[in-house]
Homo-oligomer: A and B are copies of this chain.
Amino acid sequence: MSDAKTQKTALVVSAHSADFVWRAGGAIALHVAQGYRVHIVCLSYGERGESAKLWRKGQMTEAKVKAARHTEACAAAEVLGASIEFFDLGDYPLQLDNEALLRLADVYRRELPQFVLTHSLKDPYNYDHPRAADLAQEARIIAQAEGYKPGEPILGAPPVYCFEPHQPEQCDWKPDVLLDITSVWDKKYQAIQCMAGQEHLWEYYTRVALQRGVQAKRNIGITAGRDIIHGEGYQSLFPRVTENLA
């Protein structure tokens, strides 16, 4: 049983309200299962750029699209076992300013996460994604500064991982971590199914999970005995500090 004071936490910074599901749903469910509290920040609902199916229904307004996306994202977060909040900053383009930056820094100060998940640093198909990653990185730095809201407990140096973009090679994204999510795949797929507006992506990201699973197995060696079926890839932005290289 975990205690609020000592429970480990993780933070996910998602540009649009569904990104955390496709790209980090496995990591979220896995760490929740390990006793972590995982908190998700959705910077926007992706109402303009990631809701094509909803708009095609007709009779839509931005408010209706946002409400639908809100409902879907909350349902997915619940399946995964994470808490979620929405900054509702608008998308295409994602509207970031100093206020959004400090608001996210305050989330860091409140959550004091052990690690952070966010977007890739580059994405020629989606300018909101790298912008979110930049915000996540800079807010983390501000939360580390003694001179920002002096007196508050400051953030340590949690590792930051970039989750997988839609077309990984075009984003110069190269995974250096393969996370074994086999044990929580059913939860991730259940969360994926909450995204009624983007059904065309369900099978795409199922295949992504299977490919990363095969690759994970290759990188431990076929004789390792551990059966990995589903995986998620991550690219880390900082060196890992450790006492063991195996």
**Interface of A with B (CB < 8 Å)?**
8, 10, 27, 30-31, 34, 36, 47-49, 51-52, 55-56, 60, 62, 65, 92-93, 95, 98, 101, 114-115, 117, 124-127, 137-138, 141-142, 144-148, 150, 153-159, 161, 166-170, 172-180, 203-204, 207-208, 210-211, 214-216, 218-224, 228, 233-234, 236-246
Asked whether A56 and B146 contact (CB < 8 A) given A8-B246, A10-B245, A169-B174, the answer is yes
Residue contacts A-B, CB under 8 angstroms, 13 given = A30-B243, A48-B142, A55-B146, A62-B147, A65-B147, A92-B145, A125-B218, A156-B222, A159-B245, A169-B173, A169-B175, A178-B242, A219-B241
CB-CB under 8 A from A55, the residues of chain B are 146-147, 150
Q: Which residues of B contact A141 (CB under 8 A)?
A: 49, 92, 125-127
Docked pose: A168 CA to B98 CA in angstroms: 28
Whether A170 touches B179, Cβ cut-off 8 Å, given contacts A218-B125, A221-B158, A224-B156, is no
CA distance A234 to B245 in the complex (A): 10
Report the bound CA distance from A59 to B117 in whole Å.
36
Measured between beta carbons, the chain B residues less than 8 angstroms from A203 are 210
CB-based contact B147/A49 at 8 Å: yes
Whether the Cβ atoms of A146 and B52 lie closer than 8 Å is yes
Contact between chains at B239 and A178 (CB < 8 Å) = yes
**Min C-beta distance of A145 to chain B, whole Å:** 4
Q: Other than the known A60-B150, A155-B223, A167-B218, what 9 A-B pairs have Cβ atoms closer than 8 Å?
A: A8-B246, A48-B147, A49-B142, A156-B221, A156-B222, A177-B245, A178-B241, A180-B243, A203-B210
> Measured between alpha carbons, how far is A210 from B201 in the docked complex, in Å?
12
Is A242's CB under 8 angstroms from B62's CB? no
Residue of B with least CB distance to A142? B92
Residues from chain B with Cβ under 8 Å of A30 in the complex: 243
Nearest CB in chain B: distance from A185 CB, A:
13
In the complex, what residues of B have CB within 8 A of residue A49's CB? 141-142, 145, 147-148
CA distance A210 to B203 in the complex (A): 10
Which B residues touch A215, using CB under 8 A? 167, 239
Contacting A170 at CB < 8 Å: which of B222, B239, B244, B246? B239
Taking a contact as CB atoms under 8 Å apart, the answer to whether B240 and A148 are in contact is: no
Contact A51 B169 (CB under 8 A): no
| A153 cross-chain contacts in B, Cβ below 8 A | 223
